[in-house]
Each structure stands twice: as C-alpha cells, then as structure tokens.
Amino acid sequence: MEPWWISLIKAAIIVNLVMVAFAYLTWLERKGLGRLQNRYGPNRAGPFGLLQPIADLVKLVRKEAFSPSSAIEIPYILAPVISMFTALAAFSVIPWGSGWKIYHWQVTGEVVNVPISLLLIFALGSIGIYGFIIGGWASESKFSLLGSMRTCAQLVSYEVSLALSVLGVVILGRSLSLVDIVHRQGVTLPFVIPQFFGLLVFFFAGIAETSRAPFDLPEAEQELVAGYHTEYSGMRWGLFQTAEYINLITLSGLMVTLFFSGWHGPWNLGPIWFVLKLLGVLFAFIWLRATLPRLRYDQLMRFGWKVLLPVATLNALVTAIIVAAT
C-alpha cells in the first residue's frame, strides 16, 4: 500500500500525460494520414507543425459556444463532461510499470490497482456511452438524435464482442486484475500467441467502440451532418473529440496490457516498452483510417453479430476446454 498523496501525484501526472498524448496524437494522425495519402499534413504552426495542437486549442477556446434555443440545458452541458470523465478514469487502472522503490516508499506502476480492474474499464466505457446518447437527445435536433441512436446501437452491439474476446485472456491469466495478467505473461508468454483470434476480435471491436474508420458511422457526415455532436461547438465539442481520442489511447493501452505483456520486453526498460507498444497499436488505427473506406450500416452490423460474436464465443470456449483439460 502506498500513501494517498503518492496516488494523488500519480493521478495528476497521468492525467496531464494522457492529455498531452491526446493533443499530439491528433498531430501524429494528421501527419501520418498525409504521408500515407501522399499529401501534406500540418506544417505551418511551428516547426513540422508541432504547435498545431496548441493552435487548435486556442481556436476552440476562443470559438463561440452556441447552443440550440430548445436544448435541454443541464443534460446538454453535462453530456461532454460525462464522456470526458469516463475516458480519463478508465486509464487509471492500466499498469505501465512494475513499480519502483523511491526513498522508503513503494510506488506502484498504475494509479489504482483493483482486483476487478478489467470489469471496471468495461463499466466505465458503458457509462461513457450515456454521454453520447444524452448529448444527442438533449440537443433537440433530429440529426443529433439519429447520430446518438446510431452510436448507442454500434457501441452496445460491439461491446458484447469486445467483452467476450478477453475471456480467454482472463482464463489464462487467472485474474480480472490487469496487473496480475501482465505478471502472468511475464512468467509464461505473451497472450497474443495463444489468443491470436481473441486479439483480432478485440482489435476490430475496438475500432467500432472508438468510432474509428471504417466503423465511423455515428459521425457519417454524408448522412447525419456530424452525428451526436452536431449542435455542439467550442470546447463542448472539443470535450467530445478529446474523449474519443482518449478512449482510443485507453483501448490501445488495454490491448497492450492484455495481449502484448504490458511493460515486459527483452531488456528491462519498464514503461518505455509500454509506450513503444502503445505507439505501434495507435499507428495501426491510423493506418486503417488512411486505407479503408467507410462501411455501410448493414455491413457494419452484420460484421459484428455474424462474424465477431461467434468467433469471440468460440475462442473463449476452446480456451476454457484446453485449460480445463491440462
């Protein structure tokens, strides 16, 4: 056990690091999309466009925060806050290191370690969906309402496959604690090897959960103007976008933790391995956005229920049989 003030310091540091990571993930994505599609990315604000995230922040802060006259005020204001809070809170249970001895205090490699941390992440993700739904409903706009209903349908349906895809990892790790799962992979081998099909299901369901291309139907501009956040502007809109990118970082960190042995690596580099693996997974998300067209809505739902769900269920069942037999 560590003193409460150490946990508070870690929480403040991690929140700020995640926010900086979100800001420069937008820069990295735009530069990456530019390179992959043979065009320029941001290159005007600062050297190599490195000040572009700061310029975007200044623009959002100074932009007028309008709202529809018929909007339901309190839910309309709270919706982006809920999405942002749950996105940040979910990252608090992801371990990035084995822990360190600093002076005479033992500092753990996560903000908080709970025995059901995997369930906590899924629970916070489910609560975060309410921010999108409430935001679309409280805007009193038919386009926002349609966007929120699409978001609800997509996130709820793919969350089933996402949860089932990690059952094999839980069986092999013998725990719902992410710290125990990482330690287990350090003793045996990364779970990406015995759980390769689970990784594929987790990856595709994760793309849909974060509303990334080709599963970005909740924000299909051609059909819904902009989706659930059509009637938002300024920093309220910015909070929705921040939540979306932080959810992407959290999901990538969870993938590294569950399947790629977290901070473990050939050399004892600790958190550096976690960051490198995290960047690799984030690049895969960016790469897919640059190369794949958007799916139709019927293709999207058919892929979730008829492909991912049976594969995730079969993978978990086979893993349970093998573990029980051995």
Q: Which two tokens stand for residue 57?
A: 């922040």
Q: Is 274 or 217 the better-scoring residue by pLDDT?
A: 274
User: Is the confidence at residue 221, as pLDDT, over 70?
Assistant: no
Three-state secondary structure readout of the chain: CCCHHHHHHHHHHHHHHHHHHHHHHHHHHHHHHHHHCCCCCCCCCCHHHCCHHHHHHHHHHHCCCCCCCCCCHHHHHHHHHHHHHHHHHHHHHCCCCCCEEECCEEECCCCCCCCCHHHHHHHHHHHHHHHHHHHHHHCCCHHHHHHHHHHHHHHHHHHHHHHHHCHHHHHHHCCCCHHHHHHHHHHCCCCCCCCHHHHHHHHHHHHHHCCCCCCCHHHCHHHHCCHHHCCCCHHHHHHHHHHHHHHHHHHHHHHHHHHCCCCCCCCCCCHHHHHHHHHHHHHHHHHHHHHCCCCCHHHHHHHHHHHHHHHHHHHHHHHHHHHHHC
Q: Smallest Cα–Cα separation from 55: which of 64, 47, 46?
A: 46
pLDDT in tens, 235-281: 888 899 899 899 999 999 999 999 999 999 888 888 999 999 999 99
Task: Give the angle subtended at the CA of 93 by the CAs of 149 and 151, to the nearest 5°.
Answer: 5
Express as a percent the part of the chain with pLDDT over 90.
41
Place of tokens 């084995």: 98
Q: Please tell me the predicted confidence (pLDDT) of residue 294.
A: 75
Q: Highest mean pLDDT: which of 43-47, 174-178, 290-294?
A: 174-178
Q: How far apart are CA 262 and CA 99, in angstroms?
A: 13
pTM of the model: 0.92
Mean pLDDT of the chain: 88
Q: How far apart are CA 190 and CA 63, in angstroms?
A: 47
Q: Smallest Cα–Cα separation from 33: which of 305, 290, 295, 285?
A: 290
User: Is the confidence at residue 224, as pLDDT, over 60?
Assistant: no
User: Is the confidence at residue 30, as pLDDT, over 60?
Assistant: yes
Q: How far apart are CA 163 and CA 213, in angstroms?
A: 21
User: Is the confidence at residue 161, as pLDDT, over 70?
Assistant: yes
> Residue 185, Cα to own-chain centre: how many angstroms?
22
Q: How far apart are CA 303 and CA 174, in angstroms?
A: 30
Contact 139, 76 (CB under 8 A): yes
Determine the straight-line distance between the first and last CA of the chain, rounded to whole angstroms. Answer: 35
Q: Is 326 or 178 the better-scoring residue by pLDDT?
A: 178
User: Is the confidence at residue 152, as pLDDT, over 80?
Assistant: yes
Q: How far apart are CA 42 and CA 49, in angstroms?
A: 5
Contact 18, 91 (CB under 8 A): yes
Q: Please tell me the predicted confidence (pLDDT) of residue 154.
A: 84
User: Is the confidence at residue 1, as pLDDT, over 70?
Assistant: no
Task: Give the angle subtended at the CA of 65 by the CAs of 139 and 127, to the nearest 5°.
Answer: 50
The model's confidence at residue 220, banded by pLDDT at 50, 70 and 90, is: low
User: Is the confidence at residue 297, as pLDDT, over 80?
Assistant: no
Q: Please tell me the predicted confidence (pLDDT) of residue 89.
A: 92
The model's confidence at residue 146, banded by pLDDT at 50, 70 and 90, is: confident
Contact 259, 191 (CB under 8 A): yes
Stretch 33-59: mean pLDDT: 88
Q: Please tell me the predicted confidence (pLDDT) of residue 222.
A: 61
pLDDT in tens, 4-18: 888 899 999 999 999
